[in-house]
Amino acid sequence: MNFKNIPCWVKVASVVLVAVFLLNWPADSGQWAAWVQAFGSVLALVVAIRLSEQERFTRRQERDQDRAEQAHAAAYDMTTLAVELHGRIVQLHAYSTGDQDRSVYLSEVLFFKNFQQRLARCTSGSVPVMQKNLGLEVRKLALAVTYYVVARSLRQAPQEPDWITWAERANGLFHQADMAIPKT
């Protein structure tokens, strides 16, 4: 047992109890029984407090570990989303140069609806602020792409975006998300 981890009040109470015991040495078996009960009670209190502190410490460690795992998983998911966004931008650019049927863009609308929901899960809860900010950047780019896809699905002719800039932004977001993954 490491005596440095014992709280000061326990050390003081133990010294006081031993001092009182030595000053009032028991004379008969009844007094001995009372002293044994007193020492047992103090020991039981010390053990109960120590177990409680140990349990609280263990729960705190588990909670911190869970938060770290959630942040790691969310950062990894954010990286995956950034890669998917880059891939969709490249794919949409290829679609935009051809005469695509409306159903292609309708499926993209459904993809981006699902994408936004997955992105919301990556940035909710106890994730680091940097990751939430990165999520906002990914969301902005995804919304711009979604606007283009919706307009095309409605057979409107939106202004053609700067596909290279969008692809570079998505690639940059991927690298930022990759850097946000905690290294273990």
Report the alpha-carbon distance of residue 121 to residue 144 in Å, rounded. 20
DSSP annotation of 4 reads: G
pLDDT tens string for the chain (184 positions)?
566 667 787 778 888 888 888 888 888 889 889 888 988 888 888 888 888 889 999 999 999 888 888 778 877 888 888 888 888 888 887 777 766 666 777 778 788 888 888 888 877 776 677 777 888 888 888 888 888 877 777 777 667 778 788 888 888 887 887 777 766 6
Q: Domain-by-domain residue ranges, the chain?
A: 7-57, 70-180
CA distances from 49 to 9, 46, 52, 55, 65 (A): 12, 5, 5, 10, 24
- CA end-to-end span of the chain, whole Å? 32
Report the alpha-carbon distance of residue 162 to residue 157 in Å, rounded. 15
